[in-house]
Amino acid sequence: MPTALPTYSDVVRASEVLAGVAHRTPVLTSATADALAGARLYFKAENLQRMGAFKFRGGYFAISQLSPGQRAAGVITFSSGNHAQAIALSARLQGVQATIVMPEDAPAAKKAATQGYGGNVVTYDRYKEDREAVARAIQEKTGASLIPPYDHPDVIAGQGTAAKELFEEVGDLDYLFVCLGGGGLLSGSLLSAKALSPSCKVYGVEPEAGNDGQQSLRKGEVVRIPTPKTLADGAATTHLGDLTFPIIREHVTDILTVTDEQLAQTMRMFAERMKIVVEPTGCLAAAAVLNKRVAIPEGARVGVILSGGNVDLANYGRLVAA
Ligand SMILES: *Cc1c(COP(=O)(O)O)cnc(C)c1O
């Protein structure tokens, strides 16, 4: 039986569960950024969320919805990025065991961060083994619930709470720009936008090298691409999900792309002018606005989600110094 698509009432349920657990992140403004874009920008700073990205919202809510029996068997996921840390931290906070399947050659800092949040890291050889098969074998043995990074109704509902908070804080917006990988954040944001600011135009923004979402929207079906090479590692996904795509197709205004150079410039702008660390993937939405990838009328009210701030400091230094 196909899983039912989440609705705005699921986002509201998620916001109730997350109250007092997830940070209600600040909405930042900048006269410099406004001048560059020729609009009034409201940045929802999910780089300041717990574990450094919005992914905490979906991970925590998904785990909270498990039955007592499912919680006792633990959760499992395969990811080396922000979703791994989100699941490790949200599982620990709810007294649930988390197993994270990661490639053996994943950056040591990422492995350590995931273990630091209490995750049980299991590594595999990405040239010889299939991560889904590795995860499935563990699942069969332990009965753990698989929590995927985006294609899950509770994950989508949880991610939608960031945009919900933004609309509640600043009111109606003319535009909302959202970083896009597999589409959990964008589909959740669309549910909130349609409910709270129905005339708001919502754009997803992908790396130019990985524009599978844009291709899918044009074609009317999910298009799969090879793993793209981009600075935006959190959006280096190969396809949208069976749940995220129908929501995006129905409600999104359009999907835009930005280049790696535009992401690096945007990171620099945030460091220099706004004194905040935003990872390359977290800059996708802002880069589209600052580079005027779509014409925005002078003075329009524009929401921009900064999705995360986890970046290796040596890389960060190199990118912002350039
Ligand atoms: C995962 C991630 C994204 C993409 O989110 P999806 O829900 O997969 O579209 C964007 N930015 C950051 C920082 C992320 O970690």
Q: Is the same domain home to 72 and 133?
A: yes
**Quick check: 171 pLDDT over 60?**
yes
Ligand 1: nearest atom to the Cα of 185: 7
Cα(200) to centroid(ligand 1), Å: 21
* 113 and 30 in a common domain: no
pLDDT-wise least confident of 58-62, 114-118, 293-297, 306-310: 114-118
Inside any domain, residue 2: no
Q: How far apart are CA 11 and CA 308, in angstroms?
A: 20
Nearest CA to ligand 1 atom 4: 181
pLDDT at 38 over 90: yes
Residues 99 and 184 grouped into a single domain? no
Cβ proximity of 174 and 299 under 8 Å: no
Q: Are 300 and 221 in a shared domain?
A: yes
Residue 239 domain flag: yes
Is 237 within the bounds of a domain?
Answer: yes
Distance between CA 166 and CA 202 in Å, rounded? Answer: 13
Q: What is the pLDDT of residues 172-189, one digit of tens each?
A: 999 999 999 999 999 999
Q: Are residues 306 and 210 in the same domain?
A: yes
| Percentage of residues in the chain having pLDDT higher than 90 | 87
Residue 213 DSSP symbol: H
Least Cα distance to 86 among 133, 48, 54, 134 occurs for 54
- Show the domain range for 271: 8-53+152-321
Query: Does 92 fall in a domain?
Result: yes
CA distance 83 to 89: 10
**Exposure letters 254-274 (e unless 16+ CB within 10 A, then b):** ebbbbebebbbbbbebbbeeb
Q: Could you say which of 122, 146, 170 is where a domain stops?
A: 146
**Atom 1 (ligand 1) nearest CA:** 234
Please say if 55 is a catalytic residue.
Answer: yes
Q: What are the phi and psi torsion angles at 12 (to 5°)?
A: -65, -45
- Burial environment of residue 125 by CB neighbours within 10 A (0 to 12, 13 to 18, 19 or more): exposed
> Residue 174: inside a domain, yes or no?
yes
Task: Identify the residue whose tokens are 């600011």.
Answer: 197
Round to whole Å and give the CA distance between 63 and 65.
Answer: 5
- Statement to judge: residues 93 and 207 lie in one domain: no
For residue 3, tell me if it sits in a domain. no
- Between vectors from CA 258 to CA 256 and to CA 263, what angle results, nearest 5°? 140
The pTM of the full predicted model, rounded to 2 decimals, is 0.97
Q: For position 91, which CATH number holds?
A: 3.40.50.1100
How many domains does one find in the chain?
Answer: 2
115 and 226 belong to one structural domain: no
Give just the sign of the alpha carbon dihedral 14, 15, 19, 22: positive
146, 166, 181: which is the final residue of a domain?
A: 146
Is residue 107 predicted with pLDDT exceeding 70?
yes
Tell whether 47 and 71 lie within a shared domain: no
15 is catalytic: no
Q: Is residue 26 part of a domain?
A: yes
DSSP for 69-123 reads: HHHHH-EEEE-SSHHHHHHHHHHHHTT--EEEEEETTS-HHHHHHHHHTT-EEEE
Question: Are 272 and 203 in a shared domain?
Answer: yes
Are 250 and 200 members of one domain? yes
Q: Considering 15, 44, 55, 307, which one is annotated as catalytic?
A: 55
Do the Cβ atoms of 287 and 257 come closer than 8 Å? no
Pocket of ligand 1 (CB under 6 A): 53, 55, 81-82, 149-150, 159, 179-186, 234-235, 237, 279, 281-282, 307-308
| Domain boundary residue, one of 129, 146, 163 | 146
User: Do 236 and 250 have their domain in common?
Assistant: yes
Model confidence over 144-170: pLDDT tens digits? 999 999 999 999 999 999 999 999 999
Q: How confident is the model at residue 2 (pLDDT cuts 50, 70, 90)?
A: low
Same domain, 187 and 258: yes
Ligand 1, pocket-test mutation among 185, 187, 247, 312, most atoms within 8 A of CB:
185
Per-residue model confidence (pLDDT) at position 95: 97
Taking only the tens place, the pLDDT of each residue in 250-302 is 999 999 999 999 999 999 999 999 999 999 999 999 999 999 999 999 999 99
Question: Could you tell me the distance, in angstroms and rounded to a whole number, from the CA of residue 159 to the centre of ligand 1?
Answer: 10
Four-point Cα dihedral 177, 182, 185, 191, nearest 10: 90
